Amino acid sequence: MMPWLAATHGNLEALHEHNENPEASTRYALEKGNIQFKSLNFIRGWSIQDAIILLDEVQDLTPQQLKTIITRCGKGSKILCLGNLGQIDSNYLTALTSGLTYVVERFKGWTGASTLHLEGVVRSRLASYAEQNL
């Protein structure tokens, strides 16, 4: 799974870049933080108990894929769906058909859910321009 985890490792490194020993700090977080990475290809049949589930790049998932994941959340679990509709890179999804839009709309008004909408692009001016113009 290492190729798929490169972004996660990069983000952990960025979080620890100002520590005295960033490499050791990142390694410690991975070893002691009980962080697990799972492939969605094998999620059917699971019941994920007492966990915080972090789904990133949700804008590129279909509503059906998100339903598959969310319906596996068991007792004591919470799920965070992160995504940016401006970064959809699937030929089959749009901002209206994305699983992210679907979940936000379907959970609107349910007291067990909330939505946080952030504005702006923090990566770079180039990324911001690309998001708006590509």
- Predicted TM-score of the model (pTM): 0.80
Q: Is the pLDDT of residue 4 over 80?
A: no
Q: Which residues of 87-117 are buried (b: 16+ CB within 10 A; e: fewer)?
A: ebeeeebeeeebbbbbbbeeeeeeeeeeeee
The domain segmentation of the chain, as residue ranges, is 1-37, 46-133
pLDDT: which is higher, 38 or 132: 132
The pLDDT, as a whole number, for residue 1 is 67
Q: Which amino acid is at 39?
A: S
